[in-house]
Structures are given as structure tokens and as C-alpha cells.
Structure 1
């Protein structure tokens, strides 16, 4: 029985340690630059080079145009539709990350509840009467006299059933506020604890597709990188050895991994649509984490600076999360490139009543879309929703993404809620562009201003994530190299110490640890005599060296 058990567990360990794969989710398995990002159509190196070319144009667009630097959203007049938000408020040391034990010792402006507040001017969306009385300045200059309101103001539109996000004005008493994205950058706020965990748990768990959503009989697209034979064999062993117990244990150890009723290989064993949904969620989460680690507040000095330990804890030890950031970049790049031809003509106006501002904004937008289209094959959306159940699967996919957008109202930190809602809307817009803009159909859904602002700012955010990850990766390589060098120096010093030790003393220690060769009286006598002879040598040498060292 013991032999059978031993063979069983040895087979598991042998299969688990398959060549080219991580033995655990926390093992630091480096990503090869030449390898293809799973479920995308480009390598990591290709996406990094593309980002280096595209990022300047994206930053210029989002920072230097009124249209893309202001966002309209309902930030204060929506309640969490899923639970009461007692745990969602950010404003005490209990929800801060790496803050001091007593926030009374630091200035008010550096405390968690202050970091979460919005900054700069804010303008409410005006009613019809106000818009009629001031058609040229509908926001009445509340965002600043230098802001072109024709580029910022958004007229109320009807909801489109093809939207992937809940419109900001849906069933709300307020039409939302206009806020400056430049005055409220996404960075560390101290928002964490139970409130943040509850939101992310809901994003991963409550929005997982049911088994019936993607039946195995459906001939759906799958990844071009199938799991290796070792993984398949291991899966069969797990099936035979109590699959359900394995899964329950995995749910405890990895609560953010979607639960699958059939196997423990969640991502590899699922259809393309489900993998894409999970990768988008995971990539968005990882991207947000990279922003917080990159722009992190040292609450002792008041300086905003990259935090390497934050990156190491949240991302470096989880290469799958970093991979999903690259996947999201590919998906957003494809959406931005596809949108280019719809924004070239005069059908879409960026700044009503301001021809010059409209022309400048359009030229900057096209600079981004042209760069995004410079690599033709980034993500192939045509593989999704192609079987007979495609329409129903797409509707399920869309509804679950809307559910995620509603969850952003449960975030208790103002700035976090702003960027959470914006980026969720950005990914929702990207999915709408990819799956609803048919090149062969004249029925093209109209994109609202908020959708365009969200899409391009989310693209800017994921671009910054790629930059930050590259920076952190180089710093981690330097850190690991320095640690290795220190270990080698320590080992060399220990070796030198051993060389300086009297060899007779080492022989005495060896004899003492070794013990006699047998249990007879003669064996014990021989062992003691050998120790005695070596001890005499050590003592005599010590006497001889004594005068020199005194």
C-alpha cells in the first residue's frame, strides 16, 4: 500500500514539474520576449515595441486635449446595487496600505481619506433649460475659463442594447459630473482592506460563467497553445484521485481563480470566450495594481515614487497577471485600430462649434489609431461567437460585463471609483467596437463621448502599465543580481575562513562527528586514540604560534 501511494505522489510531482512550466503560481517563471501572448496574435516583444512607438501619441491625446482630459460620470449619486457599503469607505488607517501606525503623525494631506478625494473643479451636467439659455457655455465655466466646453459637454443619448457597460445616467436622479482626469491621476490612495477585497472577489466570483453558458458541445474557438501531454496526464490522475476535493482546495488557495466544475485547469480547459472574459478582468486588475505601485506615496517623506516591493508582491511573483496585461494591451490596440476609419470623416464631431479644436483633436486621435494599426495582426475577434449559439453567448458575455460595471459603484474611494468606472467603461467600449462594429454592415452603433474618452484613456493607462512593468522588471533583475552577488561573496568569505582553519582541527571535528567505525571495544579505543593524536597536534601548534600572536 505504501509503495502504491508513493508511486502515485511521485507521478504527480513528476508531471507537475513539466519542462517549461511553473511548478506553482507564485514561482517566478520569466516570460520569453519571443513567445506569443496567449489568445492574442503577437509576441511580448512586438507589443513592447509597439507601445514604445504609440505611447507618446496616446499621452499627447489624453493630456493635451479638452475632449479627452475631462470625463463625465455619475460619481456621487449611485449606491452599490449588491450590498451595503459599510466596508467600502476609505478613510482610516485600517484600509491603508503600508501606511504609518498612527496617521496623526503625518500631515493631513498625506492621509488615506485625503488621498481618495477628487481634486480640481467639477461641473454638474446641466438640465435642458440651462443648456438652452447658455448653448455656447452649457457648463457655465465651472471647469475653468480655458476649457473648451464644446469639446467636453455631452448631449444625452439613448442607450444602445449593444453597450457592454451600464450608461452613467441610467436610472439615476443626477446626470453626473464632469471631472478633470489630469487633476485626479490614478495612483496610491490607501484604499484597501475588506471593501476593496469584496469588490474584486465579486468581479471574479459573481461574474463567472455558468457551465450552461458555454456547453462543451459547442464548437468554440480555443487557444492555439494547447496544454502539454504532461498536463493532460496530470489532469487524468487528478480526475481519478478525487477531482472535487482538489478543486475545493484550489478555491481556498486561489480565491480569485474562476471556479470550473470539471477540472482544475481553469484557463486552459475553457473556451475562448470565457478565457477572454477572465483575462480582461485579471489584466485590468493587474494594470491598476501597476499604476498604484508606480505612483506610490511614501507617507513618511511625502514623495510619490515607484515602490518595488509593491510590484514584487502584487505582480512579479505572478507572471500570469503580467501576461494578462499584455493581452489587454493587444485587445485595446485592436479596438483602437479598428475605430480609426470611423473617426476619419466628418461624421463624428469632437468639438461642436469649435472647428479649430475639432481639427486638432481629430488629428491627434488619428495619430494614435494609425500607430495602433501599424501591426496588422494583434487580436482576432472573428474567432469569437462564431458557432450556432453565438448570439446567446454574446448576450451572456455582454450582460456579465455590464454586471462588472455596476460593481464599480461599490468602490468606496472617490478617485478609485472614478478610475475603476472609467477603465471598466473603456474595456466595455473596446468590446463593443470589436464585436458590434461590423465592417460589412451599415448598422454601426454610435459611440458616445464618454465611451471614446474612456477607451482612449484606458489605452493610455494600459500603455503606462507596460512601461511601469518594464521598469520594475529591470529593477528586479538588478536586485536579484545584487542578491546573487552578495550570496557568492558570502560563500567565498566562508570558504576563505575554512581555508584559514587548521586542517588538524577540522580533522578532529570530523572524527568527533563520525564516531567509531564499530561497536567493539577495539573500535572505540582506536577512535579515541585517533582523536587524542589529532588533539595533541592542535595543542602543540597552538603553543608554537602563541608567541607570534601575543
Structure 2
């Protein structure tokens, strides 16, 4: 009996020695330690989202976002920061944006043609609405009609959760495929001030908390009501997604005498710095969970707006490509409709009516902060992703997108082209982030194999 104990002790000692590398790998892999179980505030499991996104959604979005309708985003890069004077600009050449000239655009986006097309659509819809109510009062004066038009425009504006650049005279088209989101070297005080302003001044925070960290510790989120938690998780998830992109397409070499465009690729060390428990006071894995939350929230917005989006023409002036885009959208929306576990917006705003107004104003401020970003390329992608999330919130909470199946959706409201472009690109960014998490997991596992070959054989 005693000899058996000695043998077991020896075996245990060998096991510990052989597996010490495994436990070290677990420490390195702690970014993913909380990515299991149900997504917070939702009913769907994380592994279900991984499978659904990586196999069904990501490949479709990747192809769709290469279509001309979605690759050109109109943005104002000249608007001044409304909150502070900032002379700290990104000095790296990779911060610059390659804008589109008239000759670079699809025929349907050139000059006033595209604006006229959408303006005509809106006017026709307004005429249809007016005709419906002509029997009620046909004696409105010209001034009264103008006042009603102004009221309608005001009502539409109050439904928006973000500032939209599309109609600004200083706005210009940017080709998103030629200006991909990636690490540009924009960091330091200027970049930190952006997130400080978002988290400390615009996120709801526990009333009696003395914690002045940028983030809210996951353990005290329960002190917030559901709507406040949703706001924080959405912002945190967006932030996590952006940090994942920057780690996945990182500037590995800036040798001007080699590749003038730089050498880009995944940076595992940077990813671990941004998300490991050790470097984030234990919060990094929770931020990645919030990425899954905002993904499900925006996915629900696409599903809810499907009856409207299926009727959109996706007009660029190229008839064949426009038809292909319509078919690709219908295919994507069909797949999303068969995924039942999106975020449920009906549980929101059933109590305090002022909370919805406060929620919307906080997010509008977040969209204004994007004008303070000192890196032009970062500003493009910051504006696009906040506008995409803002459009999702508008679809979910404005009330105008309810019961679309029972109404002529083209008659009741109008999403601007930029809102549709931002919405689909934003879910594309979140989808890519979740897909890239698998790449980082594999990199960590391969790192473990190389270090401790005897464990994984």
C-alpha cells in the first residue's frame, strides 16, 4: 500500500512538471476565460454566436461589404471638436485618408444625381401621406404647410441617436476598402481623452460609486438599471471591437525602403495587453463579452428592419451590381431571421419615460465626440461605427420601425443612404472582431504547442 502511494506521488510529480507549461498557457489564454455561457442581458450562448457568426454571417458580410453601395461612406472630416481645442494630430502617414474624386465614384453617387433620386423618393412618399389626409383638411395655408414640414423634420431629427454627416456641405465620400480600419499609431493623451469623455461623462454610472476608472467594474454593473447597463455594454462592446481590429491589423514594420504601404498583421502581444486579466485589473475578458452583446443588439436591428431593407434598391447606377446587392441583402436577412436569440428590445424603457430621452442624448454626445478624434482614418471609422450603432438604436427604440410587416414600410419612414451603409458596415466590423477572436485563440494554442510540444501531442 505504501509502495502504491509512492508510485502515485511520483506520477503526480511528473504530471505537474509536464503540465506546468499548460498552466502557463492557461494564464496567457486568460483573455478568453469568461467567453462561455450566456451573453449578458441576452438568452444566447457565446459558443452558439461563434458558430453562427463565423460560419454563416461573416462570409456573407465580407462579400456584401465589397459591393459599391457599401464601400463608399460620406463623412465630414472638417467639423471642429465641439468640446475642447485639440491641436494634437496623428503624425504618421498611415493616419491620412484617401478621399474619392468624382471620377472614382459609381455613376449613381456622382454630383447631385444620387441626392435627387433619394429626395424624389422622400417627396413622393410625403405626397402619398398628404393625399391620405386631404379629406380632413384641404385649406392649409402655405405657411402652415411649411410649419408642418419643419415639425416633421424636427420629429425625424429627435429620433436620431447620432449626428449624420450625409447632407453637410463639407462631407466627402471615402472608399472604405482603400482606407481599412487598422492600427495607425494614434495613441497617447489625445486618444485617451476621447474614451475618457465617452466613459466618464456620457456613460451612465452607479450613483454612489467613487470608482473613477474609465470602465465600470463588472461586479458593480448590477447597481445600474437594465437600460443603463445596456448603454454601457454597447459602448464597451464597441470599444472592444475597435481594439480587436487594431490588434488584428497592426503595423508590424514601417520600413519606407521596403514595402511603402507598410507591413500589417496580427499582434498577439498587443491583443493580450488590451484584454488579458493581468493588464486590465481582471476586466478585459468582460469587455470581450460585451462585444458579443453589441453584436446581438445590432443583429436584432437588422432583423427588425428587414421588411424595409428588403425593399431598398441599393442604387449606385450599375444595374447588375445593384441587383446582386439586393439579392445578397435578402440572403443575409433570411439567415438572420432564422437565428432566434437576438437581443430583445421590448424589455427596455417600460418605466421611466425620461430615461429614453437621456439614453438618446448620451449617445448623440458620443457621436459628437468623434469629431474630436485627431487621426482622420480613425475618425472615419469611429464616425461610421457610432453612426451604425446609433442607427441600430433608432430602429430598436424610436417606435417607427415597429410592426413593419403590417405597414407599407417605404411609406412610413426613410433611412438615409449613409445610415444603411453605416449600419451594415458596423455589424460587419463586429462580425469581423468575433471571427478574429478565433484567430487569436489559435495563435495562443499554437504558441503553447511550440513551447510545450509534449503536452499537446
Q: What is the match of residue 445 of structure 1?
A: 413
- Residue 359 of structure 1 and its aligned partner are, at CA, apart by 2.2
May I ask how many residue pairs the two structures share in their alignment? 373
SS of the counterpart of 1:366? Answer: helix
Can you give the 5+ residue segments of structure 1 that lack an aligned partner in the other structure? 1-25, 92-111, 124-140, 213-243, 488-550
Contact 2:371 2:379 (8 Å CA) reproduced: yes
1:416 is aligned to 2:378 = yes
Contact 1:385 1:393 (8 Å CA) reproduced: yes
Q: What is the match of residue 339 of structure 1?
A: 305
TM-score in terms of structure 1 length:
0.63
SS of the counterpart of 1:142? Answer: helix
1:306 is aligned to 2:263 = no
- Residue 202 of structure 1 and its aligned partner are, at CA, apart by 0.4
- Residue 148 of structure 1 and its aligned partner are, at CA, apart by 4.5
Bigger relative contact order, structure 1 or 2 (CA pairs below 8 A, ≥6 apart): 2
Q: What is the match of residue 337 of structure 2?
A: 373
Contact 2:205 2:216 (8 Å CA) reproduced: no
- Residue 349 of structure 1 and its aligned partner are, at CA, apart by 2.9
Contact 1:336 1:430 (8 Å CA) reproduced: yes
1:83 is aligned to 2:61 = no
TM-score in terms of structure 2 length:
0.75
- Residue 160 of structure 1 and its aligned partner are, at CA, apart by 2.6
1:68 is aligned to 2:70 = yes
Deviation per residue, 1:421-451 (Å, 9 max, x gap): 0000000011111112111785843211000
SS of the counterpart of 1:256? Answer: coil
Q: What is the match of residue 257 of structure 1?
A: 215
Deviates more, 1:177-186 or 1:355-364: 355-364
SS of the counterpart of 2:103? Answer: coil
- Residue 37 of structure 1 and its aligned partner are, at CA, apart by 0.5
Distance 1:53 1:169 in 2: 31
SS of the counterpart of 1:71? Answer: strand
SS of the counterpart of 1:329? Answer: helix
SS of the counterpart of 1:192? Answer: coil
Distance 1:74 1:28 in 2: 36
Contact 2:389 2:426 (8 Å CA) reproduced: yes
Deviation per residue, 1:388-431 (Å, 9 max, x gap): x2x32111111110000000000000000000000000000111
Which of these residues, 161, 165, 185, is aligned with residue 158 of structure 2? 161
SS of the counterpart of 2:183? Answer: coil
Distance 1:424 1:185 in 2: 16
The residue correspondences of 1:54-453 to structure 2 (distance < 5 A) are 54-63=57-66, 65-76=67-78, 78-87=79-88, 89-91=89-91, 112=92, 114-119=93-98, 121-123=99-101, 141-144=102-105, 148-149=108-109, 153-154=114-115, 155=118, 158=153, 160-168=157-165, 174-209=169-204, 247-248=209-210, 250-251=211-212, 255-258=213-216, 265-299=219-253, 302-317=262-277, 318-345=284-311, 348-351=312-315, 355-387=319-351, 389=352, 391-436=353-398, 437-439=401-403, 444-453=412-421
- Which has more helix, going by share of residues? 2
Tell me which structure has the larger Cα radius of gyration: 1
- Residue 329 of structure 1 and its aligned partner are, at CA, apart by 1.1
Distance 1:210 1:72 in 2: 33
Can you give the 5+ residue segments of structure 2 that lack an aligned partner in the other structure? 1-28, 123-152, 256-261, 278-283
SS of the counterpart of 2:251? Answer: strand
Distance 1:148 1:446 in 2: 19
Contact 1:290 1:311 (8 Å CA) reproduced: yes
